[in-house]
Structure 1
Amino acid sequence: MTITQLKYVLSVAEYQNFTVAAEHSFVTQPTLSMQIQKLEDELDVQIFNRSKKPIELTQIGQKIVEQAKVIVDESNRILDIVHQQKGYIGGEFRLGIIPTVMPTLLPMFLNNFTKKYPKVKLIIEELTTEEIVKKLADGHIDAGLAATPLENEAIKERPLYYEPFVGLIPQNHRLFKNKNISVNELEMEDILLLEDGHCFKDSVINLCRTHKIDNKKGFQLESGSFDTLIKLAKEGLGMTLLPYLHTLDLNDEDKNHLRDFENPPPAREVSLIYHKSQLKMQMIEALKKTIDGVVRGAISFSDVKIISPLQKR
């Protein structure tokens, strides 16, 4: 039995297809199949039911896969121990970032991080929170940047900053003349939202005091882009809510439409998250230290009310 064989088993278990698993393992399909067959012969059990489409794990195969995940994680930890002992920060590091954080936070720290840690090959993906959690569990990414808390026992969370919500109010709106706005004044049917899959949308829904949509506007619109929501709001089609960092680069005309919330403002907690197995901790610590250094000067809010994307409604 080898670690490589166990990795092949995990790959087939994930993709439920020998050809696809081989592609993701960077080997030929016959090589992968032969190694898995050798393992099955050695154990004298059948791990996969090959007659099923897609391929399924047998009952004993499910137990083998659970143990294989532990063994592969622990084998990876050996290299981690060596790197930490040597103080080495380098190698491949895969990071997932949610769409509502990527455009504002990434430009703030990426240049600093790559200059300070030139031996790290940082691979960045824009992913939803659900995708980040799944890829962390599958070992396809090493860490993520997401809104928290997630209430997931398999995930470790390291808060980076607290980002208030800010209202963007069109001139014809009932709240435009207000210096500040209150959470109690918000109505769901009044707010332009991001589309499903964005945790910021879920946070906004949790924030509002009512979820009944009377559709007084005569239309219902959801967008994947804050820029689109801003343009629609300026056309008088409704108000929208933005994360604080997204407001910093707005032009002066757009900033005239911004309204802060009364204290304590609603806010989201943005954290560096990673699997409880805590692999590549030296790179996770380096990333957190870098982000802490650049964010501290841009966002220093502490008196806020955290609105969780998973808050019970």
Structure 2
Amino acid sequence: MTITQLYYVLAVAENQNFTKAAEKCFVTQPTLSMQIQKLEDQLDVLIFDRSKKPIELTDVGKKIVTQARNIVNESYRIQDIVDQQKGFIGGEFKIGIIPTVMPTLLPMFLRNFIKKHPKVKLKIEELTTEEIMARIKDGHLDAAIAATPLEDENIKERVLYFEPFVNYIPKNHRLHKNKTIDIADLDVDDMLLLEDGHCFRDGVINLCKVFKSQTEETFQLESGSIETLIRLSNEGLGMTLLPYLHTLEISEKEKENLRYFNEPTPAREVSLIYHKSGLKMQIIEALQDVISGVVRGAIAFQNVKIISPLPK
């Protein structure tokens, strides 16, 4: 049994096709098939049901894939040990970022990080929290930036910053005249929200439920982007809540519609998350250092109340 054979098994399990898996592994399809066949012969089991289209794992194959992923990940740790011993920070690093963080945070830290660590090749994807969690556990992401806490024993979290919620209230709204807002003033029924799948939406709903035990999840309107929510709010279709960093990007005229919460300010916790196995820790620590440094000067709020991003 070799690590290469296990790597090939993982590729077929992911792609459900021997030809595609071979392309991803940069080998010929006969070579990949032969190595997997050798492994099956050695173990005297079938890992894949080749009669199914697409190919499926057998019951024992599913257990083998789980263990193979652990073994392959642990083999990568040897290179990590060598890199850390040499003080080397480099190589490919795959990171996911949730949509409500990506447009504001990425421009703040990316140039600084590239300049400081030019040997790191970042591969960045915008993904929902659900997609991020699945890909970290499958080994397809090295780390991610998401709202926390996520309460998953397989995921480690390093807090980067606390980002307050800010009210965006158009002039015709009942709360526009208020200089500050209490959480109790909010009514989810006249609020514009992001569509399902966004953890920021779940945070807003959880915030509204702090004072309203019975909240029907039927909304006036939902959208896929914060920019669209602002435009719809400007049309008088309701108020919305924005992440604080997003408020720094809007026009001066639109800033007249911002209203801050009374303290303690409700906020989301944004963290760098990664698998508990802790691969490529030197890059994770470098990211934390750079991001924390640039955000520290942008967010000055101290007295905050963290709102969970988990749907309830």
Gaps of 5+ in 1: none
Equivalent residue runs for 1:45-194 within 5 Å: 45-194=45-194
C-alpha distance in structure 1 between counterparts of 2:26 and 2:96, whole Å: 22
CA deviations on 1:84-107 (whole Å, 9 max, x unpaired) are 011100111111000000010000
CA deviations on 1:121-160 (whole Å, 9 max, x unpaired) are 1111111111111111111111000000001111000000
C-alpha distance in structure 2 between counterparts of 1:213 and 1:307, whole Å: 18
2:288 is the counterpart of 1:291? no
SS at match of 2:236: coil
C-alpha distance in structure 1 between counterparts of 2:265 and 2:91, whole Å: 40
C-alpha distance in structure 2 between counterparts of 1:221 and 1:280, whole Å: 42
What displacement does 1:213 show? Answer: 5.3
1:163–1:243 CA contact under 8 A, matched in 2: yes
2:233 is the counterpart of 1:233? yes
**2:32 partner letter:** L
What displacement does 1:31 show? Answer: 2.4
The one of 197, 210, 216 equivalent to 1:212 is 216
1:161–1:300 CA contact under 8 A, matched in 2: no
Q: Which residue of 2 is the match for residue 301 of structure 1?
A: 301
C-alpha distance in structure 2 between counterparts of 1:144 and 1:287, whole Å: 10
C-alpha distance in structure 1 between counterparts of 2:199 and 2:27, whole Å: 37
- CA RMSD in angstroms comes to 1.4
- Runs (4+) of structure 1 exceeding 4 A deviation are none
C-alpha distance in structure 1 between counterparts of 2:182 and 2:24, whole Å: 50
Q: Which residue of 2 is the match for residue 16 of structure 1?
A: 16
Of residues 200-209 and 169-178 in structure 1, the stretch that sits farther from structure 2 once superposed is 200-209
What displacement does 1:49 show? Answer: 1.5
TM-score by length of 1: 0.95
CA deviations on 1:177-235 (whole Å, 9 max, x unpaired) are 000011111111111011111100011111113422576xxxx3211111111111111
Of residues 19-28 and 115-124 in structure 1, the stretch that sits farther from structure 2 once superposed is 19-28
1:49–1:56 CA contact under 8 A, matched in 2: yes
2:270 is the counterpart of 1:270? yes
C-alpha distance in structure 2 between counterparts of 1:97 and 1:182, whole Å: 30
Q: Which residue of 2 is the match for residue 40 of structure 1?
A: 40
Of residues 28-37 and 240-249 in structure 1, the stretch that sits farther from structure 2 once superposed is 28-37
Aligned CA distance change for structure 1 residues 276 and 103 (closer, same or farther; 3 Å): same
C-alpha distance in structure 1 between counterparts of 2:149 and 2:260, whole Å: 23
C-alpha distance in structure 2 between counterparts of 1:96 and 1:213, whole Å: 28
C-alpha distance in structure 2 between counterparts of 1:55 and 1:191, whole Å: 46
Gaps of 5+ in 2: none
1:95–1:124 CA contact under 8 A, matched in 2: yes
Aligned CA distance change for structure 1 residues 301 and 13 (closer, same or farther; 3 Å): same
C-alpha distance in structure 1 between counterparts of 2:4 and 2:217, whole Å: 54
- Percent identical among aligned pairs is 71
1:11–1:24 CA contact under 8 A, matched in 2: yes
SS at match of 1:271: strand
C-alpha distance in structure 1 between counterparts of 2:105 and 2:66, whole Å: 36
SS at match of 1:208: helix
